[in-house]
Amino acid sequence: MTTTDYLRQQQAEITEHFVYSGLSKLADNEHNRITLKKIADDELKHYYIWKKITGKDVEPNKSKIRRYIRLARIFGLNFSLKLMESGEVNAQALYEEAKILLPEVGNIQSEEEQHELELISILKDNRLSYVGAIVLGLNDALVELTGTLTGLTFAFGNNHVIGITGLIMGIAAALSMASSGYLASQEDEEVKDINPIIAAVYTGFAYLITVFLLVAPYFIFSNGMVALGVMLVITLLIIGGYNYYISVAKDVSFKKRFLSMSSISIGVAAISFVIGFVVKKYFGFDL
């Protein structure tokens, strides 16, 4: 190992000190706040141990600090901590060599292992309790809207009419889904931590955002095929973004979930394409 390796590890410690310190201020209960503050203090202590080896001060990675705190604000503490955990490099070899130079490094090793156990106790985010509600809204909107808009694209020739029709149907369906989500959560006695009203808001909001994103191309482009192509790309991006979040936050396979949701949405769109084509050919719609 070189001095550069030790300096890199020293920077990682001071960076994580500021990240955990910032995340502790976002914690939603006292236990989590105290745990994160303790880890932050330990990381600072580790920084000074590495400094005994390098003899230098190192600046933290400010962009990384801002990124993890921003992600925690938007997607929750769980997501940010899981992402940090997945990005950590196994420094076992570095620790073993550094212990020869400074036995204190052994303390860093044991404390880092303790941190992993402490983090497990706080990796419970309220946002994740409502994943089912978000999936309900997103999945239903993606399947219904991709199918509806694809069918309308081939049945009608006017993008403005297609966009308005999709928007009206989408808003009505969002309200319907929110109501269904509320009733489903209210009836599910096994789920104690879920507020039916919040579940309904998550379901309806996820549906509504998806509607606006999917109909937008029909108000932007005059060519129906271009609007359809952009809409399908947006569909895949939504599926990809959501499944990336879930794969990080809940340690599940991104590829499997992405392929499953994509296949359903694109499959429904393909069937709707055939239906729209048949309707236009045999019923003569040309709006």
Q: Is the dihedral of CA 152, 155, 161, 165 positive or negative?
A: negative
Given a cut of 60, whether residue 258 has pLDDT beyond it is: yes
Mean of the pLDDT values across residues 101-121? 75
Mean of the pLDDT values across residues 195-218? 85
The Cα 242–Cα 124 span in angstroms is: 18
The model's confidence at residue 113, banded by pLDDT at 50, 70 and 90, is confident
pLDDT tens profile 138-149: 777 788 888 888
Amino acid 217: pLDDT: 95
Q: How far is CA 271 from CA 12, 59, 143, 234, 265, in A?
A: 52, 57, 11, 19, 10
Q: Is the dihedral of CA 140, 154, 217, 264 positive or negative?
A: positive
Amino acid 16: pLDDT: 92
Amino acid 1: pLDDT: 62
With H, G, I as helix, E, B as strand and everything else as coil, classify residue 64: helix
Better pLDDT: 221 or 245: 221
> Which residues, at least 6 apart from 130, have a Cβ–Cβ distance to it below 8 Å?
194, 198, 199, 202
- 125 contacts 193 by C-beta, under 8 angstroms: no
Amino acid 20: pLDDT: 93
Q: How far is CA 166 from CA 71, 153, 211, 227, 272, in A?
A: 32, 10, 8, 13, 14
Where do the structural domains in the chain lie, given as residue ranges?
3-124, 127-283
Amino acid 283: pLDDT: 66
Better pLDDT: 218 or 89: 218
In 3-state terms the chain splits into helix, strand, coil percentages (rounded to 5) of 85, 0, 15
Given a cut of 90, whether residue 266 has pLDDT beyond it is: no
Report how far apart the first and last C-alpha atoms of the chain are (Å, whole number): 71
Backbone angles phi, psi at 156, to 5 degrees: -110, 160
- 173 contacts 150 by C-beta, under 8 angstroms: no
Given a cut of 80, whether residue 241 has pLDDT beyond it is: yes
Amino acid 186: pLDDT: 66
- 126 contacts 195 by C-beta, under 8 angstroms: no
10 Å Cβ neighbour count for 100? 8
Better pLDDT: 77 or 181: 77
10 Å Cβ neighbour count for 3? 11
With H, G, I as helix, E, B as strand and everything else as coil, classify residue 207: helix
Amino acid 179: pLDDT: 81
Judged on CB neighbours under 10 Å (0-12, 13-18, 19+), 90 is: exposed
- 165 contacts 214 by C-beta, under 8 angstroms: no
